[in-house]
Chains A and B, each alone.
Chain A
Amino acid sequence: MKNTLLASKRLAISESGFVFDPVSGQSFSVNETGLVILHLAQHEDDLDKLVEQLAEQFDASILEINRDVQDFIYRLKGFLK
């Protein structure tokens, strides 16, 4: 988790949700929530804290956000490895 969050710092992120990984040359699309997470991850590599910050911004339970963010990061991990 933590390593993936750290790795995500290398990504070039555009405001339209277009994401480029200079290491692998891959590009991705993220939705708005994905964009928020990647932005937060530039400064936050602790998953729990990241989830707390999201819960302040969005109308959903910590549980739901936590599950969705974990899923997102697993997915990212698969791409960045």
Chain B
Amino acid sequence: MSITEKKPAWVAPVIVRHSSSGMNKFGGVREAQFRNEIAGVSIAELVEKYGSPLFVLSEEHLRQSVRRINRAFSTRYAKVRQAWSYKTNYINAVSAILHQEGCDAEVVSEFEYDKARRLGVPASRIFFNGPHKPRSALAKAVKEGARIHIDHLDELALLEEVANEQGVLEFPVTIRLNFDTGFTENWGRFGFNLENGQAMEAARRIAASPNLKLTGLHNHIGTFITDPRAYTAQVGIMIGFMNSVEAATGCTITTLDIGGGFASRNALQGVYLPPEQITPTAEQYAEAICGALAVGLKNREQNGKPLPELILETGRAVVDEAEWLISSVVANKRLPDGRRAMVIDAGVNILFTAFWYNHEVRPARPVEGIPEDTVLYGPLCMNIDIVRQSVSLPPMKTGDLLSFWPVGAYNNTQWMQFIQLRPAVVLVRQNGQVDVVRRAETLDDVENPEHLPIDLQPNFS
């Protein structure tokens, strides 16, 4: 058949109503923005090779992200360390890259502690947070010399006991504080409250113990903090407490750990300004924090005290933008109320952050046609499985690919094996090579821990 005889390709028809708010008649009729590659590698080829859905990490993006935060802080304050918050994404390849970039580890359970140790992180570079550290975990952490952040009085007592058993004297510890910054809701369930005197009381208990020595203060004001002034307030309050606790107990504080919480360029549901407008840059956070340090620590060295090391436990802002999720369109639907819907092969089982983010969603090829508000449903046979309540997408066919971004934070750790197996995670290396850093799960992976008593084996013959 000659080219002139070839019929034009079929594009699904679309009709959209102009709203009274005056969408102009050309407004929607543009080619939707699309993304066909990640770090230079074709999305279509990635899916062909590694399946769908697929998580795709970019080594380049991850390294650039952690370096930028590091640079922003180390050019403004002399002693800064980043401790990688494992729970944000503890795929080994991610943690390993961040450790190569000089990050310590911040863990919140014995499982995470063991994971960091197995990856080769020295205990002295592990910051051990969390409200539940069983005796076995504390014993290990004391023996190996980890940096323990005490969360409550019962833990303080247990830790003292453990140190005493091991004959350890003056084991350096940090206490986690909570207080009101005036900017965010205080996460009062963690650590010792400053305003009601609990924190000072804990410091006195430590000072009275031959086995322990208070050397650090920790606080985490919350997550996705979009106002850097919250950190200015936080640092001011922590320095104030440092001065009082040193005066009251004679201790010397050598680390101030301000936790995590920097926002990524993701769109929180219910926030209508685009993320580019509300997400502060690393430099803005650094300015707010290091500015407060400069003011608060002005006379410290003259007074014979060392400048404390600043510890950052940044999670989300380091990794979120370095990962994408690719998903395929399974079906197009028209809902009874007239809305357009699509079923896709990735659901809230693997994209947990869909509960609070409106991710950027892009087709993987240029798609012509008028975008229409669309509900995106995942593959689970569950009413909660809504990946997006409403997103404007052009007409798409089954098998078409969509990318979701940013998805690097909290998905590869909070995902669940529910109804579906979890897909592979691949890493696009800086040289363009692609490594599978977590293979897709198999039925065996799920069933291996199980045991079926022999008499329960069903017999259908």
Residue of A nearest to B398 (CB): A64
**B135 on interface, CB distance cutoff 8 Å:** no
Interface code A54-81, partner B: CB below 8 Å = 1, 0 otherwise?
A: 1001111000110011011011101100
Tell me whether B370 and A59 are in contact (CB under 8 A).
Answer: no
**B449 on interface, CB distance cutoff 8 Å:** no
Measured between alpha carbons, how far is A75 from B374 in the docked complex, in Å? 13
**A7 on interface, CB distance cutoff 8 Å:** no
**A29 on interface, CB distance cutoff 8 Å:** yes
Q: Which of B377-433 contact A (CB under 8 A)?
A: 395
Tell me whether B6 and A68 are in contact (CB under 8 A).
Answer: no
Tell me whether A59 and B29 are in contact (CB under 8 A).
Answer: no
**A32 on interface, CB distance cutoff 8 Å:** yes
**A28 contacts which of B8, B10, B17, B338 (Cβ < 8 Å)?**
B17
Measured between alpha carbons, how far is A69 from B334 in the docked complex, in Å? 12
Main secondary structure of the interface of B (DSSP, over half): loop
Contacts of A79 in B (CB 8 A): 15, 17
**A31 on interface, CB distance cutoff 8 Å:** yes
Using A27-B18, A27-B25 as known contacts, list a sample of 17 further A-B pairs with CB atoms less than 8 Å apart, ordered by residue number in A.
A18-B25, A28-B15, A28-B18, A31-B13, A31-B14, A31-B369, A34-B15, A34-B370, A58-B9, A58-B10, A64-B10, A69-B13, A75-B15, A75-B338, A75-B340, A76-B15, A79-B17
Q: Which of A7-28 contact B (CB under 8 A)?
A: 16-19, 26-28
Which of the four size classes fits the interface of chain A?
20 to 34
**A29 contacts which of B6, B340, B370 (Cβ < 8 Å)?**
B370
**What's the nearest-Cβ distance from chain B to residue A52, in Å?**
14
Interface code B322-341, partner A: CB below 8 Å = 1, 0 otherwise?
A: 00000000001010001010
Contacts of A28 in B (CB 8 A): 15-18
Q: Contacts A16-B25, A17-B29 hold; do A59 and B8 have CB atoms under 8 A apart?
A: yes
Q: Contacts A18-B25, A74-B338 hold; do A30 and B10 have CB atoms under 8 A apart?
A: no
Identify 27 residue pairs between A and B in the complex whose beta-carbon atoms are under 8 Å apart, listed by A's number: A17-B29, A26-B17, A26-B18, A27-B18, A29-B16, A29-B29, A31-B368, A31-B370, A31-B395, A33-B14, A34-B13, A37-B13, A54-B10, A57-B7, A58-B8, A58-B9, A59-B7, A59-B8, A59-B9, A64-B10, A68-B13, A71-B12, A71-B332, A72-B15, A74-B334, A75-B15, A78-B338
Residue of B10, B18, B28, B395 with most partner-chain A CB within 10 A: B10
A residues neighboring B (CB under 8 Å): 16-19, 26-34, 36-37, 54, 57-60, 64-65, 68-69, 71-72, 74-76, 78-79
Contacts of B10 in A (CB 8 A): 33, 54, 58-60, 64-65, 68
Closest 8 pairs between A and B when the two form their complex, measured CB to CB? A60-B10, A78-B338, A33-B13, A34-B13, A59-B7, A58-B10, A72-B13, A68-B12
